[in-house]
Amino acid sequence: MLEKSFHILTFGCQMNVHDSQWLARALTGRGFQEAPLEQAQVVVLNTCSVREKPEQKVISALGRVRQVTGGNPGVLVAVTGCVAQQLGGKLFEGAGQVRLVAGSDGIAGAPAAIERLLAEPGLRLSLLDFTSSYVEREAGPRHAAEPVAYINIMQGCDNFCTYCIVPFTRGRQKSRATPAILEECLAVLDRGAREITLLGQNVNAFGRDKSGDGVSFAALLSRVAALPGLARLRYVTPHPKDMGPDDVAAFAELAPLCPRLHLPLQSGSDTVLERMRRKYNRRDFLDLVACLRAARPDLALSTDLIVGFPGETEKDFEATLEMMESCGFMSSFSFCYSDRPGARAALFPDKIPPEVQQERLLRLQELQEKLSRRWLEARTGRETSLLIEGPSRRQGLGAEPSWQGRDPYGVPVHVTLPAGEDHTGRMVPVRIMEAKKHSLTARRTGALW
C-alpha cells in the first residue's frame, strides 16, 4: 500500500465524472497521488442510483475492493454520490473498510474528511446534509487543463419527473453564483482548455431558484461565449419545457455555441409524458425542434428515451418511434423504466413486464442505429473543424500518425497529422471522408491553430 495515495471508481452521469475529477484534483492539491486500486490507501466509490439495482452494484464494488486490497483495515474506503445520499449510514454496516459516506453536497467536504480519518483511525464520518446554497469547492493545483472542460453551474433539480430519483439524491435546485462560474471558466481557458460544457440537471432553469443572482441561462451563455480563448461551448442537460425563446436565439447568435443539443424527450406519447410529469407534449416538442432548426439549420439533436414506463401501451411505444423519426435524432440513450424508491411512478399500477420492455428497447435501438448511420453517412464530404483530444488508438497509414478529435457535433473523428508533435488541444480544419459505425474519418484541409 502506498501512503497518501488514492483511487476513484466512478459510476453515473457527467456530473459524477466531474465530481470525481474535482476530488482527484483536490486530493492531489493536498499531497496525495493517484494509484492503482491494489496500491491505494484511499479508495473512493462515487456512485449513481438513477437506474436498476444501484445498491447491489455498490455492494459488489465494495466486495471487489475488499478482495483486491486483501481487506486491509489500513485502506480507507469512502462512498460518495447519489447512493451514499440515499443509503447514508447503512453503508457502514458490515463493510469494515467504509469510513466515510458523503452525499451530493457533502462531497465538497470529502478531502478534509479523508485527511482527518487518516489521522484518527477509529473514526467514521458521514456528510449527508443538503446545504441551502451552492457550495464552492477548493480549486486544487492549477496544472494544464484538458482541451475539453466541464463547469458546474447548478446542483440538484426541482422537477420531480415521476420516474426520477435525482431530486431526492441531489436535493433541490441551487444555482451557482455567476461570478464564480465565469471565474472558473476563465481559469480553465487560461490553462489551455478550448471547449467548455456547462453542466446541470436542468440548465435552462439556471437562476430560477433562491440562490439565483438575476442572471438567466441565456445571459450566462452569452457571457461565457464572450470569454477570450473559447472555441466551443456546449451545455447539458436542458429540459424542453424550460427552453425559452432566448435559449433558442442563442443558437443563432453565439458563434462558439456548437450546433448540437442533447434534448431529452423520454417518450413520444402524450399520455405517457403526462404521467411522467414532463410538462410538455409532442406538439410542444416538435414546435421547439422547428424553432431550434430555424435558428440553426445545421443543428443536430440527441435525446434520452425511457421504454416500458408503467401503463405504456404498444401504441404509446410506437408514438415514441414515430417521434424519433420526425426529429431525426443523431443518437440517443435509451433505458428500460425501473422503479426508484421515493419516486412517484414506483407506486403506479400497470407495470410493464421486463420481457416486453426488453423487446421494445431492442426495437427502439434498432431504429436509432438506422438513424445514426444515416446521420453519420450524411456527414461525408462536409468541411468542418476538429478539436484534437489525443493520439488515436488506430494506427495511421504511412508516415503520419493518427489522432482523435471531435467535430462540433461531439462525434469522434480520426485524422492523420504531421509526425513529431503533440497536437492535443489544437483545432484543425478537415473534410469528412468516411463514416464508421460510431465515428468518422477525415482529411486535414488547412493549418492547425
Total number of residues binding ligand SAH (CB under 6 A)? Answer: 17
Q: For residue 219, which amino acid is it? A: A
264 touches ligand F3S by CB under 6 A: no
51 binds, among ligand SF4, ligand F3S, ligand SAH, none (CB under 5 to 8 A by kind): ligand SAH
Cell of 97: 473498510
- Give the one entry of ligand SAH, ligand F3S, ligand SF4, none that residue 16 binds, where binding means its C-beta sits below a cut-off of 5 to 8 angstroms depending on kind: ligand F3S
* CA diameter of the chain: 64
Closest approach of Cβ 50 to ligand SAH, in Å? 5
| Gap between the Cα atoms of 242 and 156, Å rounded | 16
Tell me if 13 contacts ligand F3S by CB under 6 A. Answer: yes
Rank residues 20 and 237 by Cβ distance to ligand SAH and give the closer one. 237
The contacts of residue 395 (CB under 8 Å, 6+ apart) are 401, 402
- Closer to ligand F3S at the Cβ: 234 or 296? 234
Residue 41 lies near ligand SAH (rule: CB under 6 A):
no
Select from 91, 166, 321, 327 the one that contacts ligand SAH (CB under 6 A): 166
Choose the binding region for ligand SAH from 105-113, 139-147, 311-319, 336-344 (rule: CB under 6 A): 336-344
- Find out whether 373 and 329 touch, Cβ atoms under 8 Å: no
Q: Rule CB under 6 A: choose which of 234, 239, 414, 426 binds ligand SAH.
A: 239
Cα–Cα distance measured from residue 414 to residue 388, given in angstroms and rounded to the nearest whole number: 9
Q: Return the one option of ligand SF4, ligand SAH, ligand F3S, none that residue 338 interacts with (CB less than 5 to 8 A, by type).
A: ligand SAH
Q: Name residues contacting ligand F3S, limited to 49-78 (CB under 6 A).
A: 49-50
Nearest distance in Å: CB 427, ligand SAH: 30
304 makes contact, choosing from ligand SF4, ligand F3S, ligand SAH, none, with CB < 5 to 8 Å by partner type, with: ligand SAH
Q: Write 320-325 long-range contacts (CB < 8 A, 24+).
A: 320/265, 320/267, 320/268, 320/269, 320/364, 321/268, 321/363, 321/364, 321/367, 322/268, 323/265, 323/268, 323/282, 323/285, 323/286, 324/268, 324/364, 324/367, 324/368, 324/371, 325/367, 325/371
Strand partners, 388: 405
Per CB under 6 A, contacts with ligand F3S among 143-172 are 165-166, 169-170
Site membership for ligand SAH, residue 266 (CB under 6 A): yes
User: Is 426 among the residues that bind ligand SAH (CB under 6 A)?
Assistant: no
User: Nearest 5°: CA angle at 263, between 294 and 354?
Assistant: 140
Residue 46 exposed, middle or buried by CB count within 10 Å (0-12, 13-18, 19+): buried
250 interface partner picked from ligand F3S, ligand SAH, ligand SF4, none, CB below 5 to 8 A per type:
none
- C-beta of 312 vs 407, nearer to ligand SAH: 312
* C-alpha neighbours within 13 Å on the C-beta side of residue 432: 25
CA geometry: angle 233, 237, 242, nearest 5 deg: 105
Residues binding ligand F3S: number (CB under 6 A): 13
Taking a C-beta distance cutoff of 8 angstroms, is the pair 75, 1 a contact? yes
Task: Closer to ligand F3S by CB, 82 or 413: give it.
Answer: 82
- Strand stretches in 325-375, DSSP E: 331-336
Contact mark string toward ligand SAH, 289..318, x via CB under 6 A: ---------------x-x------------
Q: What is the DSSP letter of 129?
A: P
Cell of 159: 422537477
Query: Residue 337 interacts with ligand SAH (CB under 6 A)?
Result: yes
- Residue 300 corresponds to which cell in the numbers above? 443536430
Measured from the CB atom, is 107 or 161 closer to ligand SF4? 161
When CB distances are held under 5 to 8 angstroms depending on the partner's kind, the choice from ligand SF4, ligand SAH, ligand F3S, none that residue 160 binds is ligand SF4
65 burial (CB, 10 Å; 0-12 / 13-18 / 19+) is buried
In the complex, least distance from residue 423 CB atom to ligand SAH, rounded to whole angstroms: 33
Q: Provide the CA 244 distance to its chain's centre, in angstroms.
A: 22
Query: Inter-axis angle of helices 282-295 and 314-327, to 10 degrees?
Result: 10
Q: Which does 169 bind (CB under 5 to 8 A by kind): ligand F3S, ligand SAH, ligand SF4, none?
A: ligand F3S
Q: Which residues bind ligand SF4 (CB under 6 A)?
A: 157, 159-161, 164, 166-167, 201-202, 239
Q: Which residues bind ligand SAH (CB under 6 A)?
A: 50-51, 163-164, 166, 201-202, 237, 239, 264, 266, 304, 306, 335, 337-338, 340
Residues at the contact surface with ligand F3S, assessed by CB under 6 A: 12-13, 15-16, 48-50, 81-82, 165-166, 169-170
